[in-house]
A and B are shown apart, each in its own frame.
Chain A
Amino acid sequence: MKSGKIFQISLILFIVTTLTIVVGIVISLINSSYPIFLRHGFGFISRSVWNPIEEDYGILPPLLGTLITSAIAISIATPLAISLAIFASEIIPSRLRSFVNNVSDLMASLPSVIYGLWGLYVLAPILHKYVMLPLHNYLGFIPLFSVKPTPTNLFTAGVLLSIMIIPFASSIIREAYTAIPYNLKEAAYSLGMTRWEVVKTMLGYIRSAIFAGVFLALGRAMGETMAVAMVVGNIMNIPKSIFDMGYTISSLIANQFPNAEAYKYMVPALYGGALILFTVGLIINLIGLHLVRRVMVKS
């Protein structure tokens, strides 16, 4: 047999194995979670209850917590990731460029438990004293800030998540920015644009990469477990403000799995949470792909 043929066959083998594993995971998610859906139906998603004694589970709070912390993270991270990418590719002298990029890439690869530890002991007290308390004291009439904050809550988790995903989104945007053809920049400058106007025009040119970076980062934020579990508060209630302690689906699973097997329906409930997280992630990704494609077709 020719080596090309062997290569081709082994390639197909690897692809099939990978696909089988992915499909297998989805099947086991559905298979292991259906008892909880049989028991509670839609109530599993729409109610707020976690009562193992009576085997009653409804995961609305962690679902909301996941959505809220991700939304906070993405709204902080998007402008900062774009700024960092521009800063790294336009503003700083080329001698420092690789240093800044390396630091940023290192940040993207730090284990999340390190972020969690730092978030718990450094970030949370600072945010509490200088951001959350002032916001609550002066703008507490806005429902968003109405609850008196403790250091660990949904907001802290969102900010910590944003710090974790900035380097991630930024490196995708930066790659695209540095790949912009030189003659497009020349064209922009030749039209009498200022540096800032050129940057603005070029950001328009790479907007599909910006979308891609932001949505990939969003996917990461939604799935992030350890760091969030350490700062989110881990309390099962429907949040009334972003300063409420809460849960996310992934932190719920991480916190509850050790004693889950003692109860008949807790394992299916955790699988149910996983299935919902998977589905929400899938929907976000599909929306992201759709947006990217629409932008691509336009240009």
Chain B
Amino acid sequence: MSLVEISNLNAWYGDKHVLKNINLEIPRNIIFAIMGPSGCGKSTLLRAMNRLLELNPNAKVSGQVKIDGIDVYSDKIDITWVRRQFGMVFQIPNPFPHLSIYDNVAIGPRMNGLVKNKSELDQLVKWALEKAYLWDEVKNDLKKPASMLSGGQQQRLCIARALALKPKIILMDEPTANLDPVAASKIEELMLELKEDYTIVIVTHNPQQAARVSDYVAFLYMGELIEVGETSQVFTRPVHKLTERYVVGKIG
């Protein structure tokens, strides 16, 4: 069974149909890229998975998203449980600027009651920061505000914050779009490392990035899923004309 199974997923903003009948399976322990030009529905697809889309009062969703066989849109489900299964990293690094580095990582487990005591929390925070390759840079500054970190560090802190909830999958919404090239390549290295234990879905408008990091890639265009397959396949022998034009940079 694939980790995530999306079937007949549709989404609207008001009258605007932004995701059109998406069917998609995401296997385990791989990096899955969703690429496409701006406004094609990539970010919406990501937010439809962890039900963050509902924060927008104009958004409407129909269809099914299953994680480990459980439908996240089922009536009986606890929405906070759903969101904990998907760690999320955003386009603009968004640690809570008023909280310390430590508290940024600790706030999720604390609010969700995932740890029993302080030492367990300390361990979890250390583990998450190590996983995000940030521990060595911040271990002496844990009490300092997150806002003092550089953009790349902030993004890795956000990755640590997501990891601390022990999610089943990590969603990354153009995580390097606002970073300098050095910081961006660090994030890409980190993704390859995290793949050992996690499944990562990355949304990108940059086909080169998709080619560099992903194992599978889906091409989304105007709300429709045009093509999906192994990255090497899609980039060397795309089935669809639109995909071919996109990967060589003629659209987008």
Interface segment, A79-87, A197-205, A216-224, A283-291? A197-205
Q: Beyond A190-B52, A191-B83, is A201–B112 a contact (Cβ under 8 Å)?
A: no
A194 to B112, CA, bound (A): 9
Contact, CB under 8 Å: B111 / A193: yes
Chain B residues near A187 (CB, 8 Å)? Answer: 88, 90, 94-96, 158, 161
Chain A interface residue count, Cβ-Cβ cutoff 8 angstroms: 21
Per-residue CB contact flags for chain B residues 84-108 toward chain A (1 = under 8 Å, else 0) read: 1011101110111111000000011
Contact status of A190 and B50, CB under 8 A, knowing A183-B90, A201-B107, A299-B145: yes
Instruction: Please tell me if the beta carbons of B107 and A191 are within 8 angstroms of each other in the complex.
Output: yes
B81 contacts A190, CB within 8 Å? no
> Which range holds the interface residue count of chain B?
20 to 34
Bound form: Cα–Cα A94–B58 in Å: 12
User: In the complex the two chains form, is B80's CB within 8 Å of A201's CB?
Assistant: no
A258 at the A/B interface (Cβ < 8 Å)?
A: no
B21 is an interface residue with CB less than 8 A from chain A: no
Residues of A within 8 A of B111 (CB): 191-193, 197
Residues of A within 8 A of B (CB): 94, 181, 183-194, 197, 201, 204-205, 207, 298-299
Q: Which residues of B contact A (CB under 8 A)?
A: 50, 52, 55, 57, 80-81, 83-84, 86-88, 90-92, 94-99, 107-108, 111-112, 145, 147, 158, 161-162, 165
26 contacts between A and B (CB under 8 A): A94-B57, A181-B94, A183-B94, A184-B96, A186-B52, A187-B95, A188-B96, A189-B55, A189-B83, A190-B52, A190-B87, A191-B108, A191-B162, A191-B165, A192-B80, A192-B165, A193-B111, A201-B96, A204-B98, A204-B99, A205-B96, A205-B97, A205-B98, A207-B98, A298-B98, A299-B98
